[in-house]
Structure 1
Amino acid sequence: MLLAVVSSWIMIHSREIQLNGIIPDLIKVLWEILQVRVLVLVSLFLQVILILCGNRRKYIANRGLQLVVWLTYQLAGWVATYALGILSKDSKNSLIQPNLIIWAPFLLLHLGGPDTIIAYSFEDNELWLRHLFGLISQLIVAAPVIKISWNVDNLSYVTIPLMVAGIIKYGERTWSLWLGSSKKFEESILPPPNPGPNYAYFSYDLAEKLDEGYKVRLMVESTPVSFYHSPIVIANERIQDAFFLHHGFYLFTIFEFLFADLVLSIQDHHNSQHFFQSIPWNDAFKVIEVELGLMYDKLYTKARATYTCLGIFLKCVSFFCTLFAFVSFYYMMINKDYDKTITLVLFLGAIFF
C-alpha cells in the first residue's frame, strides 16, 4: 500500500521533478511519508533496549554496555519529543491522518521511560523539576492531536485511555526522580527529630518535690544500648541466597547513610564492624553486592515509587487503561484503513513492557 502511494505521487508530480534532482526529491518524498512511522518504531526500539539493558550495568562493569545505555538514554527522549512535535505540527495544519493520532499517547508512554532506568547518574535526579516542566509542555503539545480524536468516529475510546496511561507513566518518572534527589533522599532516611528530655518540666517537678519536704536524690543510670547483628543463617532453604538477602537488607539501612553524607552512630558502626568480622570474606562481598543493588534500584529506577500503595494503584490504572484502549482498537478500528501492524506492535510494547 505504501509503495502504491509513493508511486502514484511520483506519477502525478513527474513533470515537476527535474532529472538532475530526482534522487533528492524522491528521498524527500519518502521521508515525508515515512518519518513519523520510522520515528515511532525507533522510539519503541530504544525503549526495548533500555528495558533489556537499563539495569545490566548494575551487574556488568563494561564500558561498551555503559556507552550503549547512555546513548540510548539520551536518544530515547529526543526521538519521542521530535515525533510528538511533528504530529502536533501536522494537527495544527490539518495534515495529520487519523491513524497517526493514536500514536501520540504512545510517545508519552515512551517519554515516561521503563521501570529499569529513570536516571543515568545521580545528578539526573536533581533535574526532577525540569522533567515536571517537560511533562506539562508535552501535554500541551499532545493536546491538539488528542483533540482531533473527538471528531473521528470512536477514536477517543483509544486515545483518551492511552493518554491517561501516558500521563501516569511520565508522572511516575518525575515522582521517582524527586524521591531520588539528594534533599528528599536525606529526608527519607533520617528518623523523626527527638527533642530529648523536657528539662524545664524536670526542674519544676524537682523544685515542687523539695518544697513539699520530699528527700530527692538525683541518679544517673547508664544502660548499654549496643546491639550486635548476629550473622545467623536463615533456616529457609527454598529461598535462594536468603542469608545474603536478609543481612544485606538489614545493613542497607546503615549503608544508605553514607550516600546522604550523614555520620554513622557508634551503634551502627559497631554493628556493621562486628558482622563483617564474623563471616568469611566471600560472603561479605556478596552481602555488599546486595546492598549496592538495593541502592542502585533506589537511585536509578522507579522502585521507590512503584513499591508503594499509590505506586501499585497507578500501575494497575495504567495497565487497565492500556488494555481497554487495545480492546477498543481491536474491535472498533481493526477493519479500517489504519497502520494496523505498527499500532499493534506499539500496543504489545505498552502492555508487556
Structure 2
Amino acid sequence: MAGGRLQIEKLLPVQFLLLVSLVLQITLFLCAGVRRIDNSGGGLRGALLWLAYNSADSVSAFTMTRLWFISNSNHSLATLWAPFLLLHLGGPDNIVAYALQDKQLSLRSLPIVLTRVIVGAYFLYANGDDSGNFVLLASCLMFAVGAAKYGERWWALQKGNLGSIRDSVKKYKSTPMHRHVHPQDIVLKKVNGLDRLDEESHLRRAHSLIDVCKRAIVGSSEREKKDRHMTKMMFYVEYWTLAEMQLSIMYEILYTKAAVIHTWHGYSIRVLSPLAILASLLLYQSRLFDTAVTYVLFVAALSMESISLLNTLGSSWMFAYLTSTRFSWHLLRNQVVSLSRLVTCGRSRYQARRWSGNMGQYNMLHFCTRPDTLLTGRPLLGTLAGLVGLEEFWNRKHFSGTVNLSDHVSIKVCIGQHAQRLNMKAGGLNTLGMVVRPWAMTALSRHNLEEKFKGILGEEFQEGVIILHIATEFFLAECESASPDGDHLVKEIKALSNYMMFLLVERPYMLPGIHQSELYERICDALTKDVSHRPRSICALLRSSFHYHDDPAGYNSRANDSKMLAEKLYHRHKGQEFICETVRLTYSASVAEQLLVYQKDHGPSESLKLLLEVWADMLVYAGNKCSRESHAKKLSSGSELTTIVWLMLELFYQIDYHVHTDDNYGV
C-alpha cells in the first residue's frame, strides 16, 4: 500500500497537480468569452473550454486529497496550498456554469462545498504549529479568500438558476433601475439619416429593462405597466440591438457570477481579495525547493483577481448598480465608463454583447442530390463515418453551412414589421403574449389567402416547416425570371427556408412541437429515389472525394441538380390525389401551385414578397412558441436568431409600443 502511494507521488507530485489546476483556471479565464457570441461550438477555444471546465474541479479536489499524503517535511506548504485549491474551486468570474443543468443541481453540491472548506480549515488547524507565524498568517488570509470565492461560486449557481429568477420576479415587481434616466443616457448618432442611440445608451437601457427579459425567460405573464420614465427611455431605441444586449446580460446572469458579483458583498470580495493575496505574498518567505511553485500560484492568483476587480469596476453592471442607488454618483459613473474603455484596451466592448449574426443553412434537396457512393464522388470521410456508425452525424455537419444576417438586411426588416403587426393587431397576441393564429396564417390572412392554404401546411409545426421548405424549392424552380429586386428576394427566401430546416435537423429543441425526425427521413428517402447522378470526370470525382464541407451556399452546391429534382417532383405531384406515402410532397406541390397562381395575378415580385413574409411568420412563431428553457440553454452557445426574435416580440408586447416607429429594428 505504501509502495503504491510512493509510486503515485513520483508519477504525479503535488507540485505538478497544483500547476495543472492553475493552468486549467487560466484556460477557463481566457476561453469562457467564446461561448457568448459563437453558436458553432467555438472551435479550438471551445474545445479547450469544455475540457477545462469538466476537469478543473476534479483536478483541484484530487490535489487536495493528495495533500493528505505528502511527507511530513512539506506539511507547512500543505497549509498554504490548500487555500489556493479552494480559490481554484471558486473558479473565474466569467464562467460559473457550462450548461443550464449545472445550476439545476446546485443545491446538491452544497455538502461537497462545505466539506472541502472544512478540509481546508483542518489543514490550518493540523499544520499551523509547524508552519511558522508568517506562513500561518499568510495561509489564513488565503483561506479567507479561497473560502469566500468558493462559497460565492455556489451562491452564484443558486441565484442564477431559473427557479431563483422566477422567485425574484415575483418578489420584486419593479427594480429601482427602471426609475432612472440620466441626461448622459441620451447620446444620439445618425443611422441611415435617422437619430439613434449610441451603443452605450442601448446597453444602459438593456440593464434598466432587464426585468422584462427575466419575466419572459421564466414565462411570467405579468405585463409591464405604462410609465412615462420607461416611455422616455424607449425613444430612439433600436429594438434588435436592445434584444441582443439584453440576451448578453441574461447570459451573464445564467452562466457567470454576475448575479452575485454586482452586489455590495460581491464588490467587497473583489476589492479585498487582491489586497489579501498581496499581503499573503509579502508575509510568505521560504527557501524550500517548492518556493517557485508557491510564488507562481501567488502571482497568478494576484493577477487574475486584479483583472477581475478592473473588469468589475469597468462593467456596465457597475454603472447600473450605481444608478439603482438613491444617490446620483454622476462623477463616479463617468469614471466607470472611462475605466471600461481602458479595460478593453481600445477594442469595441460592445462587440462581445452582440449576436454573431450566423444563421445555419441546410437544404433537403441539396442533401438528397448528394453523391451516395465512391463511384459518384462520395467523400472518403463520409464513407468512413458510415462504417463506424456516424453517418447521421456526418450528414448533419457536412451538408450544413452558415450565412450572416448582415448580408440579408431585408430579413431583419420583414421580421421586425411582422412582429410589430402581431402586437398592434387585435387578436395577434393573447394576454400571455403568445401568437394566437397557427403558423403562417397571420401573413396569409393579410393577403386574403388563409382559406386557400388551410389544411396543407401540416398538423404539426415541424411538419409544416418541411412542407413549406419543399414547396419553396418547387415554387422557385417554376417561378418566372424576376428583376434584380426579385433575385434579391430569392436570396432572402432561401436563407430563411434553409435556416428553418437547419434548426429542424440540427437543433430541433429550438422549434415548438413534436420532433419529426422519422417524417424527415421518410421524405428524404422518397426524394432520393428520383435522383440520377450525371457522369463525372476522374478529376471531378477526386475533388469530390476529398471535400470536407458541402453546404447549400457553397461552390459545390449542385444548384442545377436540386432545381431539376424540384421541377420533376412538382410536375409529378401537382394535382395528384393524396397518397399516404407521399402526402407531404403533394401538400408541398399544392402550396407551390397556390403561390404560382398568386404570381400570375400579382406578378413575380409580389409573390416573392408574400413567400418571404410567410417565412418570417414561421420564424416569429417558432421563437414565440419555443420553450423558454430552450432559449435559456441556447444562450450558453451564442444564442440563436429565433431567441432574438422571441425577445424582440416580448419587448414590443411588454412596453408601450405606440412610441415606436416602423424602422426601429436596428437595421
Is the counterpart of residue 69 in structure 1 residue 49 in structure 2? yes
Count of equivalent residues? 279
Q: Which residue of 2 aligns with 1:293?
A: 248
SS in 2 for 1:116: coil
Q: 2:199 aligns with which of 241, 255, 275?
A: 241
Deviating above 6 A after TM superposition, structure 1's stretches of 4 or more consecutive aligned residues are: none
Equivalent residue letter for 2:161:
S
Instruction: Report the CA distance shift for 1:31/1:260 in structure 2 as closer, same or farther (over 3 A).
Output: same
What are the ranges of 5 or more consecutive residues in structure 2 without an aligned counterpart?
A: 175-180, 190-196, 305-667
Q: Which residue of 1 aligns with 2:66?
A: 86
Q: Which has the higher contact order (CA 8 A, sep 6+)?
A: 1
Deviation string 1:11-48 (CA, Å, 9 cap, x unpaired) is xxxxxxxxxxxxxx9xx758527521111111100100
Q: 1:265 aligns with which of 209, 223, 229?
A: 223
Equivalent residue letter for 2:143:
M
SS in 2 for 1:60: coil
Q: Conserved in 1, the CA contact under 8 Å of 2:14 and 2:66?
A: yes
Query: Sequence identity, in percent?
Result: 28
Q: Conserved in 1, the CA contact under 8 Å of 2:14 and 2:63?
A: yes
Question: What's the CA shift for 1:149?
Answer: 2.8
Question: Whole-Å Cα distance in 1 between the matches of residues 108 and 162 of structure 2?
Answer: 16
Q: 2:14 aligns with which of 36, 42, 52?
A: 36
Instruction: Report the CA distance shift for 1:257/1:153 in structure 2 as closer, same or farther (over 3 A).
Output: same
Q: Which residue of 1 aligns with 2:271?
A: 316
Instruction: Report the CA distance shift for 1:120/1:36 in structure 2 as closer, same or farther (over 3 A).
Output: same
SS in 2 for 1:120: coil
Question: What's the CA shift for 1:95?
Answer: 6.6
Question: Whole-Å Cα distance in 2 between the matches of residues 324 and 51 of structure 1?
Answer: 23
Is the counterpart of residue 166 in structure 1 residue 146 in structure 2? yes
Question: What's the CA shift for 1:287?
Answer: 1.9
Q: Conserved in 1, the CA contact under 8 Å of 2:142 and 2:276?
A: yes
Question: What's the CA shift for 1:88?
Answer: 2.1
What are the ranges of 5 or more consecutive residues in structure 1 without an aligned counterpart?
A: 1-24, 195-228
Question: What's the CA shift for 1:252?
Answer: 2.6
SS in 2 for 1:102: helix
Q: Which residue of 2 aligns with 1:19?
A: none
Q: 1:51 aligns with which of 14, 25, 29?
A: 29
Is the counterpart of residue 106 in structure 1 residue 84 in structure 2? yes
Deviation string 1:211-266 (CA, Å, 9 cap, x unpaired) is xxxxxxxxxxxxxxxxxx9xx982278x9612321332344321221211211427
Q: 1:254 aligns with which of 180, 187, 212?
A: 212
Question: Whole-Å Cα distance in 2 between the matches of residues 32 and 88 of structure 1?
Answer: 15
Instruction: Report the CA distance shift for 1:33/1:328 in structure 2 as closer, same or farther (over 3 A).
Output: farther
Question: What's the CA shift for 1:267?
Answer: 5.0
Instruction: Report the CA distance shift for 1:161/1:182 in structure 2 as closer, same or farther (over 3 A).
Output: same
Q: Conserved in 1, the CA contact under 8 Å of 2:83 and 2:143?
A: yes
Deviation string 1:158-181 (CA, Å, 9 cap, x unpaired) is 211111111000011011111112
Equivalent residue letter for 2:262:
Y
Is the counterpart of residue 327 in structure 1 residue 282 in structure 2? yes
Q: Conserved in 1, the CA contact under 8 Å of 2:15 and 2:290?
A: no
Instruction: Report the CA distance shift for 1:37/1:255 in structure 2 as closer, same or farther (over 3 A).
Output: same
Equivalent residue letter for 2:292:
T
SS in 2 for 1:44: helix
Question: Whole-Å Cα distance in 1 between the matches of residues 173 and 198 of structure 2?
Answer: 38
Question: Whole-Å Cα distance in 1 between the matches of residues 198 and 294 of structure 2?
Answer: 41
Q: Conserved in 2, the CA contact under 8 Å of 1:88 and 1:141?
A: no
Equivalent residue letter for 1:118:
V
Question: Whole-Å Cα distance in 2 between the matches of residues 243 and 313 of structure 1?
Answer: 27
Instruction: Report the CA distance shift for 1:97/1:191 in structure 2 as closer, same or farther (over 3 A).
Output: closer
Instruction: Report the CA distance shift for 1:298/1:151 in structure 2 as closer, same or farther (over 3 A).
Output: same
SS in 1 for 2:94: coil
Instruction: Report the CA distance shift for 1:60/1:43 in structure 2 as closer, same or farther (over 3 A).
Output: same
Question: What's the CA shift for 1:89?
Answer: 3.5
Equivalent residue letter for 1:234:
I
Equivalent residue letter for 1:337:
L
Q: Conserved in 2, the CA contact under 8 Å of 1:128 and 1:174?
A: yes
Question: What's the CA shift for 1:131?
Answer: 3.1
Q: Which residue of 2 aligns with 1:122?
A: 100
Question: What's the CA shift for 1:324?
Answer: 1.3
Equivalent residue letter for 2:146:
G
Question: Whole-Å Cα distance in 2 between the matches of residues 264 and 140 of structure 1?
Answer: 44
Instruction: Report the CA distance shift for 1:233/1:102 in structure 2 as closer, same or farther (over 3 A).
Output: closer
Question: Whole-Å Cα distance in 1 between the matches of residues 109 and 275 of structure 2?
Answer: 25
SS in 1 for 2:288: coil
Deviation string 1:293-335 (CA, Å, 9 cap, x unpaired) is 1001111111111111121122233332212111101xx33xx
Q: Conserved in 1, the CA contact under 8 Å of 2:31 and 2:49?
A: yes
Equivalent residue letter for 1:171:
G
Instruction: Report the CA distance shift for 1:342/1:190 in structure 2 as closer, same or farther (over 3 A).
Output: same
Question: What's the CA shift for 1:191?
Answer: 4.8
Counterparts of 1:169-248 in structure 2 under 5 Å?
169-192=149-172, 234-235=186-187, 241-248=199-206
Q: Which residue of 2 aligns with 1:341?
A: 292
After superposing the two structures, state which structure 1 stretch, 131-140 or 290-299, moved more.
Answer: 131-140
Equivalent residue letter for 2:130:
N
Instruction: Report the CA distance shift for 1:30/1:299 in structure 2 as closer, same or farther (over 3 A).
Output: closer
Question: Whole-Å Cα distance in 2 between the matches of residues 108 and 162 of structure 1?
Answer: 9
Q: Which residue of 2 aligns with 1:204?
A: none
Q: Conserved in 1, the CA contact under 8 Å of 2:104 and 2:161?
A: yes
Question: Whole-Å Cα distance in 1 between the matches of residues 14 and 186 of structure 2?
Answer: 55
Equivalent residue letter for 2:153:
R
After superposing the two structures, state which structure 1 stretch, 135-144 or 304-313, moved more.
Answer: 135-144
SS in 2 for 1:295: helix
SS in 1 for 2:39: coil
SS in 1 for 2:70: helix
Question: Whole-Å Cα distance in 2 between the matches of residues 240 and 112 of structure 1?
Answer: 36
Question: What's the CA shift for 1:339?
Answer: 1.4
Question: Whole-Å Cα distance in 1 between the matches of residues 267 and 69 of structure 2?
Answer: 36
Deviation string 1:164-204 (CA, Å, 9 cap, x unpaired) is 1110000110111111123221122225589xxxxxxxxxx
Question: Whole-Å Cα distance in 2 between the matches of residues 163 and 179 of structure 1?
Answer: 24
